[in-house]
Every structure is written in C-alpha cells, then in structure tokens.
Structure 1
Amino acid sequence: MAGVSGCIKYSMFIFNFLFWLCGILILGAAIWIRVNKDGEEILNPGNSVTSPYISVNILIAVGSIVMILGFLGCCGAVRESRCLLLLFFIGLLLILLLQVAAGVLGATFRSDSERILNETFYENVKLLSETDKEAQAFQEALATFQEKYKCCGLVNGAADWGKNFQQNFKSCECTSSTDSCVVYEGKNVYKQPCISFIKETVAKHFLIVIGIAFGLVFIEVLGLVFSMVLYCQIGSK
C-alpha cells in the first residue's frame, strides 16, 4: 500500500460503485422510453431504421457500457490494477468524446430534424385514408393516441381520416360540449389535431435523454480525474 492513498483508493471504489448504479439508472430510463410507444408508431409506422428514438437506442448501449466501466473501475481500485484503471480511463474518455460529438451534431442538425419531423407528419396523413395493412396498423396506433390525448386526426383534424372517418370516429369522439369539440360529418369530435401532442411527447423524451447525457458528463470527468490520480500513485509505489 506504500505510495497509494487509501482515501483516493476507496473514494475511487465508491465513485465507481455509484457510476455502476448510474449505468443501471441510464439503462432503465432508456428502456422505459423505448418501451413507451406513445407517438413512435405514428412517426414511424414502417421503418425502424429512421425511428426518432434512435438516440434512445444509443443511450441503452451507453448505459450498458457505463455498467461495464463501473465494474472495471471498482476492480481496478480494489486490486490496484493499473491495467484495469487504464482500460477504465480509455473507455470513459471515448464515451465522453462520443457524447461531445453527438451533442455538436445534434445542435448542428436540429433544424433539419424538425423539418424531417414535419415532413413525416404530413406524409403519414395519407395513411389515414388508405386501406392496406400498413395503413391499418398506423390507423390503430393513431386511434389509441387519440383516445389517450383527446385529439383527432394528425395535422388537419378529423378531415385527415378522409373516407375512413365514419369507421374510426369513435376514438376521437368528444362527449362534452366545450370549445374543444367540433362537429364533422354529423359527429361531435375533438377539434385539436394530434400533431402538437406527439411533438410534446417526442420533446419530453428528448429532454430526458439530454438531461441524462449532461449529468453523465460531470460524473465522467470526475471518473477520469480519480482514475488517473490512482493510476499515477500505483505507478510510483
């Protein structure tokens, strides 16, 4: 133990244990967002490659890697292994650099993302008036969303349903007589289209991802400092 500070060693162990717990929390939060299907089928009825939740899939991978790194850091601190500490440092540094790159790219292409999102909405409106299998799956997803958020149609209200309105009006039927209702083809339905609610859902998930990422940056910088100090102390024994 000569040359190695017990305080640094056990602080490193406690930090990495907390870091490992952070990995579990990140993984759990990302899986919750991924499993929560609100709006995903509506934005992306057929092609998972262009899913707006691809960042959540990346976060699941990050959470898994953080758990592994936390374990490596704990073992490196307890066993005073320079090899494990170096692996921990390199892995943590790579994650940090990837997060910075992802943040820069996200800020750069934000306007493009919003444009693509709006284009997706307007393109998917066509599915409401069609009858093929893909259209029916999309219509079922929107019907569920309409019931939950008390809205009707995707962009233009009930008119988006076209000739399929009479078969699908139940999910957006408005039972009250307030200003939130409107009469369309003899049916009392919600006036508000679902586009704003879907955007709010996506924005909420995006904020959760951003919050986790920024919180992780602070923890990662501390991990880099702790691991390098302990690595140098072990080397000077």
Structure 2
Amino acid sequence: MAAVSGFIKYSMFIFNFIFWVCGCIILGVSIYARVSKHGQEIINEDTSGVNVFAAVNLLIAVGTIIMVLGFLGCCGAMKESRCMLLLFFIVLLLIAILQIVAGILGIVYKSKFEESFKKNFQEQVKTLVQDGADYEIFKNDLDKFQKEFKCCGLIDGAADWGKNFDKYSASCECTNTTNTDDICVRYMGKLVYKETCGNYIINFLKKNLIIVAGVAFGVTVIEILGLVFSMVLYCQIGRK
C-alpha cells in the first residue's frame, strides 16, 4: 500500500488556501462595491456606470470561481478526497485551456483588434464635432487625457475637434516642451501635440503586451503545477 506524499499534500493545501483567501477578498470587495451605498455613489458619479457595473459583476464571477477552486483544492488535499481533487483538476484544466485559446486568438486576430479599436475611435470622433450637453462628459474626459499624456484628437489629431477646436484646444497645445519639433505640429496658428490619443492608446497596449504575456505565462505554469500535483495526489490516494 503506497503512502500519500506529505510534501505534495501540504503544498496543495497551502497554495489553495492562499488561492481561496484571494478569492474571498475579490468576492467580498466586489459585492461591497456592487450593493453598498458608498459603492453606488462612486459608480453613479460617471455616466459610464453601466460599464463599471459590468466590471464589478465580472469580478464577482472571478472571485467566486477562485474561491470554489481553492476550496476544492484545500479540502481535496486534507481530506484526501479523490472526488474533490478530480473536480479541481477538471475546472483548472478548463481554465488553462480557455487561457491558451484566448492567447492563440489574441495572436491570430491581433490586427483585427487594432482595426476594431480604430473603428471605435472613428465613432467617438463624431461626438467631437457636435455640440450639446450629451457630449460634454466625453469631451471633458478626452480633454483631460490629452493634457495628461500629451496627445491630441483620436485619429486625425487636432482636426478631430472640428468646430470645437478653439473651445477645447488648450489641452492640445504644447507646453513645457523642449523638443517641440519632434512632438508638436502647427494647426490653425497654434502649436499642438503631433501624436493622436488613438495612436498613444494602441502603442501603449503594444508596449505592455509583453508584460501581459509574461504574467499569463507565469499563471499558466502555476496552473500546470496545480494540475500535476492534484493528479499525482489523486493517483496516490487511489493506490492507498
């Protein structure tokens, strides 16, 4: 009768206990933000609150999955339950497969994602040439973005502002810049930033793609270790 490895058993328990605690924290904070009066006030401060609610709901789902997965791993290891370990293995395997598929799709459809971004920018540009209170929030947000990241417009630079350029051009103007020839261009008698905010966002995503890929790779390695440990423990319990 083979003995169950104590190293694998307690490694599984410690790892999944930390996993479970992280899931509880994510779930608790997300639910608080979703139902508390203070959280509602923060979300409702912006008209984009619908998107914030969607993000909070996603975090609730993620927290729940992590918490359940950690529970299965902890109890499966300590109780030496083959059923729980098998469920843990299956759920973790499905998550790993989804991550791999998402990574492959991201590589294959990278150019299409960029086109989708640009198409969305084109739709947003239409709001810049219109007047009215309905468009003030978006215009003000872009105004702040331009000032913070030294960019102008979304696609065609300052021209995207259309007839509202004079009204919102202050955040586009080059200020406190030494290399004006490199990052600035003249438009309607004013020196404005050459780079568009659309290009800035796309370039930012490209630059951070390596970091995202590295984190995803690290998570995948941890998941593979979890799969190996759970299956080894499952087999040892069966032999025992």
What range is the shorter-chain TM-score in?
Answer: 0.7 to 0.9
Q: Which segments of 5 or more consecutive residues in structure 2 lack a partner in the other structure? A: 31-46
1:190-222 CA-to-partner distances (Å, cap 9, x unmatched) read: 233222211133335655443332211111111
Q: Quick one: distance in 2 between partners of 1:106 and 1:183?
A: 38
2:2–2:239 Cα contact (<8 Å) kept: no
Look up the SS of the partner of 2:175 in the other structure: coil
Q: Quick one: distance in 2 between partners of 1:229 and 1:202?
A: 39
Which residue of 1 is the match for residue 151 of structure 2? 151
1:57 offset after TM fit, Å? 8.4
Look up the SS of the partner of 1:188 in the other structure: strand
1:157-205 CA-to-partner distances (Å, cap 9, x unmatched) read: 2121111011111222223472233343333322332222111333356
Q: Quick one: distance in 1 between partners of 2:104 and 2:224?
A: 18
2:151–2:193 Cα contact (<8 Å) kept: yes
What pairs up with 1:49-64 in 2 under 5 angstroms?
Answer: 61-62=61-62, 64=64
Instruction: Say whether 1:230 aligns with 2:215.
Output: no
Letter in 1 for 2:85: L
1:147–1:171 Cα contact (<8 Å) kept: yes
Q: Which segments of 5 or more consecutive residues in structure 1 lack a partner in the other structure? A: 32-44
1:135-177 CA-to-partner distances (Å, cap 9, x unmatched) read: 3332122111101011222222212111101111122222347
Instruction: Give the alignment's TM-score, normalised by structure 2.
Output: 0.74
Instruction: Say whether 1:202 aligns with 2:205.
Output: yes
Letter in 2 for 1:167: K
Q: State which drifts further: 111-120 or 57-66.
A: 57-66
Is the alpha carbon distance of 1:193 and 1:7 closer, same or farther for their aligned partners in structure 2, counting shifts above 3 Å?
closer
1:61 offset after TM fit, Å? 4.6
1:90 offset after TM fit, Å? 1.3
Q: How many pairs were matched up?
A: 218
Percentage of pairs with the same residue: 57
Letter in 1 for 2:80: E
Q: Quick one: distance in 2 between partners of 1:60 and 1:172?
A: 39
Which residue of 2 is the match for residue 42 of structure 1? none
Which residue of 1 is the match for residue 40 of structure 2? none
Which residue of 1 is the match for residue 196 of structure 2? 193
What's the C-alpha RMSD, in Å, of the aligned pairs?
3.6
Is the alpha carbon distance of 1:190 and 1:82 closer, same or farther for their aligned partners in structure 2, counting shifts above 3 Å?
same
Q: Quick one: distance in 1 between partners of 2:85 and 2:237?
A: 10
